[in-house]
Structure 1
C-alpha cells in the first residue's frame, strides 16, 4: 500500500466516524454510503487525480445529501437516512422483523444454555464452581451466534468461532481444580474477557484485522454495557415486585427467583442488549457521550483524591486478592471511559477542556497503576509468585504500557504535534494484547502453578 493509499484510508476512516455520529444514519447506511464514496474516488483517480484530491471532490459532491440528512434529522429525529433514498420501506421493515426474530431465538438459546446443565446434575445451588467457570461461556456463545447469524459470516470464520469456544470449554473444564483454587477465580474472570474478543470477531464478520471494525466493536461494547445495566436495573425492580407480590399471598418465590428469573433473565439480557444497540443507535448516541462527559471528570477527581490520600497517610496499597480485583476493576473502568470517549470524539475537532480532563484521568490512573505495581512486586519478592499476584502483575504491566503511551499521545495531540487518528489506532491495535493475556491466564496458569 502506497503513502497516498494510506492517507486515503485515514481520510475515509475519519469520514466514516463522522457519519456514524449522525443520528439519521445507521451503521448499515454508512457501509452503503462508503461503497458509493469509494466508487466515486476510484472513478476520479482513474481520470488522473491524486487519491486525496479525489476524496475531497467525492465528499463535496456527496455533501448535499449529508446536509439534507442533518436538516431531516432535526425535523424527524425518529427516522433513518434510508428514508431519504428509498421509496419503499418494506425491505427495511422486513429486515427489522428478521433481526427481532433472530434476537428472540438467540435469547431463548441463552436461557437454554444456562438451564441445560441442571439436567446433568449441575444445579445452581450445588454446583457453584461449575457455573463460576462456565457462566461466561454459556452466555456469550448465544451472543456470538446472534452476530454470526446477523452478519452472515463465512464458513472459515464460523469454524474459527466454534474452535475458540471449544478451546474455552476445554480450558474451563479439563483441569482438575479444587473449589477453593485461585485458578477457578482467575478462569471465571479471564475467560469471559477472552471470549468477548471472540464475540468481536463475529461482530466484525471475521474482519478483525480492520482497525475501524475494532473501533466499531469498542463503541458497541460501551453501548451494550449501558443497555445491559439498564435492563438489569429494571430486572431488579421486577424481582422486588415479584417477591413482594407473592409474599402478600403467602407464597415464597425465592426458588423461582434464584433458579429461573435471575439466571434466565440475565442470560437473555446479554443478547437483548446487543439487539437494542443495533436497533436504537440514534437513542444511545445521545446518551453515551453525555455519560462519558459526566463520569470522566468525576473519575478524574476520585483518582486524584486517592493519590492525595495515599500521599498524606503514606499507607501502602493492600494487594490481597479482593483489593487487587478492586483496583484493576477501577483501572479497567477508566480505560473503558477513555476508549469510549475516543470512539465518540470528532477526529477533526480541536483540542479542548474535555481533552485536558481525559489526560488528567489517564495520568491519575497511570500513577495508581505504578503504585499497585510497586506493591505487587514487593509482595512477590517477599512471599513468591502465586496465581493471583502473577495475573495481577501481568495485567497491570499491560495497563501501564497502554496508559503511558496513551498519555504521551494525548499530550502530543493537545499540543498539535500528532493527529487524533494516532491515538485511535494505538487503542485498536492494543486490543489483541488484552485477549492474548486473558487466554494465557486461562490456558497456562493452572498447570504452571500446579492447579493451585
Structure 2
C-alpha cells in the first residue's frame, strides 16, 4: 500500500486485521468491534497529526502490541466478561480473578472506612456539621474524594510519582479551603465550595487514568466513569434517604427521636462512604447501570432541548433580561453543566463508527440552544460588572466559567455540524472534549487559589 492509497485500501487493512482478531475463539464479534474502535481512534489521531493513512495504520497496529497483550488490557477494562479468565489466565478453571475481586472489596471497605473517619475527625476538635456549616461546606469533598482516588490509584497500580502528585494536589486543595480568613457569609466561601469539588474531581480523574493521562481514550473512559458513578451515587442517596426516614419515624413512634444520630452520623458518614462504594461498583460492573445511562441521555436530551428552546422563545417574546444575582448565576451555570454532561455522556456511549443520525441533529439543537443562553448570560454579567454594580467573586467566577463554556459549546457545535455534513470524523469531537478537560481544572484551581485574596476575602 502506498502513501497515495485511499479510504478503500485502508478499509481493506482494517478488514484483514479484523479477520485475524476473530481467529481467537474467546473473542466475540462485539469484542472485535471495540478493539477495532480502539485501532481506528489511534489511526484518526495519527492522521490528524500529519501521517498518511497507511503510515498511521502501521504505527497504530504496532502501538497496540501483540493481540495477547491487548486482550489482557481489554479484559481488565471489561471485568464483567465471561472470557476474562481465559484471557487473563489462559485457564478457564483458574480462580485467579476471585482473589483480585476480594482484594478490591477489602481495599474499597478500607477506603470507605477512611472516608467515614475523615468526616468524623473534625468532631474531635469541636467542629460539628450543624454548628460549623462553613467549614464543612469548604471541606466536604476533601473527606471522601482522596479515598476514592486512593482506591482508583491502587486499582491502576499507579507509580510512586503519580501517587505523589495526587497527594500534593489534595494537600493543596485542603490548604486553599482552610488557610484563607473567610467569614461564614463571604461570597468566597460559596465560590470555593463550588469550584473545589470540580478541581478535586479532576484529580480523581488523574488517579483513574494513572500513567495514561495523555490518552484521549482514557479521558473519555473517565467521562463514562463519571456518569456511571453519578447514577450509582444518586441511587444510593435515594436509598439512604428512605433509610433515614424509616429510622426517624419508627423510633419516633416509640418516643425516641434519633435526629442527632441521623444528622450527625447516618447522613454524613453514609454520603462519604457512598462516594467510594459507587466508584467500586462502577469498576466491578455489578449491574446494568452502564446500559441505563445511555438510555437516560436519550430520554433527557430531547426534554432539555425543548426546555431551552422554550426559554429562548420566552426571552424573545417578553424582552425580559436575565437576572444575574448569585442564585440565578448558579442556576444557569448548573443548566449549562447539565447540557455539557448530556453531550459528554452521549459521546462516550455512542458508536464512533455509526453514521450521523437524527439524535446527532437533536444534540446539535441542544448545544446551539445552550450556546444562545450562554451568550445572553455573558451579556448580562458583563453589563453588571461594567455598570455601577462592580465585580464580585461570584460574578467574576461566573464570567470566566461562561466564557470557558462558550468556547467549548461553540466549537462542539461546529464539530457536530461538520460531522453531520460528513466533513469531520466523530473522533475529532471526542478529542476536543477530552482535550478540554484540563481547561476546567485550571480554571477551578485559579478560582480556589487566587480569587479569595484577589477580592480581599469578600
What band does the TM-score fall into relative to the shorter chain? Answer: 0.7 to 0.9
Corresponding residue number in structure 2 for 1:335: 340
Corresponding residue number in structure 2 for 1:381: 386
Distance 1:296 1:381, change over 3 A: same
| Aligned counterparts of 1:159 and 1:444: Cα–Cα separation in 2 | 23
| Aligned counterparts of 1:54 and 1:423: Cα–Cα separation in 2 | 22
* 1:83/1:89 contact within 8 Å kept: yes
Task: Check if 1:428 corresponds to 2:430.
Answer: no
Task: Check if 1:283 corresponds to 2:288.
Answer: yes
Corresponding residue number in structure 1 for 2:84: 82
| Aligned counterparts of 1:402 and 1:269: Cα–Cα separation in 2 | 31
Q: Secondary structure at the match of 2:288?
A: helix
| Aligned counterparts of 1:162 and 1:354: Cα–Cα separation in 2 | 42
Task: Check if 1:404 corresponds to 2:410.
Answer: yes
* 1:23/1:285 contact within 8 Å kept: no
Corresponding residue number in structure 1 for 2:307: 302
* 1:24/1:81 contact within 8 Å kept: no
* 2:85/2:96 contact within 8 Å kept: no
Task: Check if 1:208 corresponds to 2:213.
Answer: yes
| Aligned counterparts of 1:54 and 1:389: Cα–Cα separation in 2 | 48
Shift of 1:148: 1.5
Gaps of 5+ in 1: 39-48
* Aligned partner (choices 261, 264, 268) of residue 259 of structure 1: 264
Which is worse superposed, 204-213 or 310-319?
204-213
| Aligned counterparts of 1:437 and 1:206: Cα–Cα separation in 2 | 23
* Aligned partner (choices 194, 208, 224) of residue 219 of structure 1: 224
| Aligned counterparts of 2:29 and 2:167: Cα–Cα separation in 1 | 35
Corresponding residue number in structure 2 for 1:160: 165
Corresponding residue number in structure 2 for 1:122: 127
Shift of 1:78: 7.2
Q: Secondary structure at the match of 1:293?
A: helix
Corresponding residue number in structure 2 for 1:390: 396
| Aligned counterparts of 2:178 and 2:57: Cα–Cα separation in 1 | 54
* Aligned partner (choices 93, 96, 104) of residue 91 of structure 1: 96
Distance 1:94 1:300, change over 3 A: same
| Aligned counterparts of 1:222 and 1:207: Cα–Cα separation in 2 | 20
* 2:80/2:286 contact within 8 Å kept: no
Distance 1:55 1:433, change over 3 A: closer
| Aligned counterparts of 1:54 and 1:160: Cα–Cα separation in 2 | 31
* 1:23/1:281 contact within 8 Å kept: no
Deviations along 1:103-132, one digit per CA (max 9) or x if unpaired, are: 111111110000011001111121111101
| Aligned counterparts of 1:24 and 1:338: Cα–Cα separation in 2 | 24
Gaps of 5+ in 2: 23-27, 44-53
Shift of 1:141: 1.1
| Aligned counterparts of 2:238 and 2:215: Cα–Cα separation in 1 | 35
Shift of 1:52: 2.3
| Aligned counterparts of 2:175 and 2:63: Cα–Cα separation in 1 | 51
Distance 1:358 1:89, change over 3 A: farther
Q: TM-score, normalised by structure 1?
A: 0.85
| Aligned counterparts of 1:55 and 1:162: Cα–Cα separation in 2 | 34
Corresponding residue number in structure 1 for 2:444: 438
Shift of 1:239: 1.0
* 1:183/1:387 contact within 8 Å kept: yes
Shift of 1:88: 2.6
Runs of 4+ in structure 1 displaced over 3 angstroms?
A: 22-25, 53-59, 83-86
| Aligned counterparts of 1:177 and 1:396: Cα–Cα separation in 2 | 25
| Aligned counterparts of 1:322 and 1:273: Cα–Cα separation in 2 | 29
Task: Check if 1:249 corresponds to 2:254.
Answer: yes
Q: Secondary structure at the match of 1:205?
A: helix
Shift of 1:282: 6.3
Distance 1:344 1:54, change over 3 A: same
